[in-house]
Chain A
Amino acid sequence: MSRKLSPRAKLVLYGVMLVLCVPFVFPTWWMASSSLKPVSEVFAFPPSLLPANPTASAYEKVFELQPFGQQYFNSMYIAVVVTLGTLVVSSMAGYAFARIRFRGQNVLFLVVLTGLLIPSEVTIVPLFQMFNDWGMIDTHWPLILVPVLGAPSVLATFIMRQFFIALPGELEEAARMDGLGRFAIYWRIALPLARPALAAVAIFTFLHSWNLFLEPIVYLTTPDMFTLPQALTQYVDAYGGPMWNVQLAAASLTAFPVLAVFVFAQRQFVEGLAHTGLK
């Protein structure tokens, strides 16, 4: 809203935002500071804001105990492939459902939508049986194929469809007059306009893949193949107790780069979305 705020109103708003920050920031802060504590201090109550004797040994252990670099790479490349794949699959499907008329369109859209409605716990066993039959256990295929083609990408298709429906048709019309085919219209006209929706899909998809937990622990069995959320659970001492400081160090290493990317990309992301609005 465009009107200028009075200084007092600004002060109040800052106050409100600062207070609101606490529940959002405190856990993140605790995670980071506890990763610098010795393990016996982690569960001290009340939780301390700063480590009494900061030590980076947990961070060394992160890399010493697991092929953490490799696991980081796994998570990263899977998330990137899944994101790119989802962008292609969902933008095409979303475009077709919104802009092309074909027989059985509504029924097929409903069929696809079912995927939106099923928690992954429900289908994990049949999916496991399938991938086992295909010899894909302990490979990254299930973690790529299912998100790109299966249930998780349906949300993306849905977002894309909603976007394309609201897109004014004149441009397409003009392109058609110029003799462009469907694919060319999609690729050269619709897709560039859809950048904001694609950005929304990208961020959803990336985070979904990045945080996936149940699937990796079921499908993957070799440490070199693990993804990050799975790797976090592996920091255990010789007596079976979790090494909390190491787990939190690994969790911090998992969270902060993504946050950094968000800081870097948010302006484009938010403003890009705003430009056309997600309609």
Chain B
Amino acid sequence: MKTLERPRTPAAGRSGGGEAGRPATRRPLWTARRRDQLAGYLFIAPQLIGSVLFVLIPLGLVVWYSFHEWNVLAGTFHSVGGDNYQKLLDDPKLPGVLKSTAYFSVGLVVLNLSLALALAVLLNQKLRGSVVFRTLFFSPVVVSLVAWTIVWGFLLQKNGGINAGLDLFGIEGPNWLRSEGTSMAAVIVVQVFKNVGLNMVLFLAALQGVPRELYEAATMDGAGRWLQFWKITMPMISPTVLLTSIITVVGSLQVFAQIAVLTQGGPNSSTTVLVYYLYQQAFKFHHFGYGATLSVLLFVIVLVLTVIQWQMRKKWVFHES
């Protein structure tokens, strides 16, 4: 969909992703244009000032800390040059942590998005009572994290509810939270059930926004349900897919409370993801400078991922092309 700009200059194709900042072509309206520019700055001013104050300056300070050794308890703070970054390269635990982080994020995003979409499609079948189900699927979003993890801690025990269920089918369930092979999967599932409701609601809204005529036309052409889903539904809801995937990817790299409660990063560090690790280093082990260095690393990773997703949107997001 094209956005319409004020006086349409050839250069003003699209805003945002386009080529802003190019000197304006001289036009008789140039004062109006200036006024508009000013309006633009004023509109973003609160957000911009906030970003500088509460994001950039603190972030700058974190980068500054990363070149220092800061023992909070002793109150000592001295420059160590690039030592923390050298430590980062030499840290024997880091490769494992990064692997766990990738496992967690990929698993979480894939599972969360596909389950959210599946639930949304189910709920979109206009069954009687689907409002009730919608509420039930959404309910964990508002339940306290502590209660949530306690219950799942129960369910995932060796002799817990999940394994009792598997036992009905003659399967001997694993010791979910205690074995390295399953602990991460368990943590991911717990996290997905907690928050999938938000994405589900967004998907549901997107699904209901797809014009019915499109399906009707496709049915006339003899396209089956599956084909319709891939050829009509997916392209139409692709902007929502982009939005939810960015939110979920970014969120997945920042979640650690569940890990802290369920496995505390174990067994054998198999669930120690990057945020958890940096939290440990900074606040538990009192290596504040190194914690800051890990923060910088985390920031760079999220930045790269987001840029990639943002670039990819042009390829597959329907409305942006």
Contacts and interface: CB of A to CB of B under 8 A. Distances in A.
Q: Do A and B bind each other?
A: yes
Interface of A: 1-3, 5, 10, 13-14, 16-17, 20-21, 23-28, 30-31, 45-47, 88-90, 92-93, 95-109, 111-123, 125-127, 129-130, 145-146, 148-151, 153-155, 157-159, 161-162, 165-170, 172-173, 176, 181-183, 186, 196, 200, 203-204, 207, 210-211, 213, 229, 232, 247-248, 251, 254-255, 258-259, 262-263, 266-267, 269-279
Contacts of B12: 101
A247 B57 contact: no
Interface stretch (B106-114, B175-183, B199-207, B263-271): B199-207
Contacts of A172: 4, 6
Contact of A119 (B206, B212, B254): B254
A31 B1 contact: no
5 smallest CB-CB distances across A and B, nearest first, come from: A169-B4, A149-B50, A150-B54, A273-B205, A277-B209
A1 B58 contact: no
Interface of B: 1-6, 12, 14-17, 20-21, 35-37, 39-41, 43-44, 46-59, 61-62, 119, 122, 124-125, 127, 131, 133-148, 151-152, 154-155, 157, 159-161, 164, 193, 197-198, 201-202, 204-210, 212, 215-216, 219, 225, 228, 236-237, 239-240, 242-243, 246-247, 250, 253-254, 256-257, 275, 278-279, 282, 288, 295, 298-299, 302-303, 306, 319-320
Contacts of A162: 239, 242-243
Contact of B37 (A102, A167, A267, A271): A102
Contact of A16 (B5, B15, B122): B122
28 contacts: A17-B122, A21-B133, A47-B151, A47-B154, A93-B48, A95-B43, A99-B15, A101-B12, A102-B40, A112-B51, A117-B299, A118-B59, A119-B295, A130-B53, A149-B46, A149-B50, A158-B246, A159-B243, A165-B16, A168-B3, A203-B201, A232-B146, A248-B147, A255-B139, A255-B142, A274-B207, A277-B205, A277-B240
Contacts of B48: 93, 108, 111-112
A21 B193 CA distance: 10
Contacts of A24: 136-137, 139-140, 193, 197
A116 B4 contact: no
**Interface on chain A toward B: helix, strand, loop, or mixed SS?**
helix
A151 B50 CA distance: 8
Contacts of A165: 3, 14-16, 320
Interface-central residue, B12, B44, B208, B243, by most chain A CB under 10 Å = B44
Contacts of A17: 122, 133
B11 to A, nearest CB: 9
A249 B2 CA distance: 52
Contacts of B247: 155
Given A93-B44, A161-B16, A28 B2 contact: no
B193 A126 contact: no
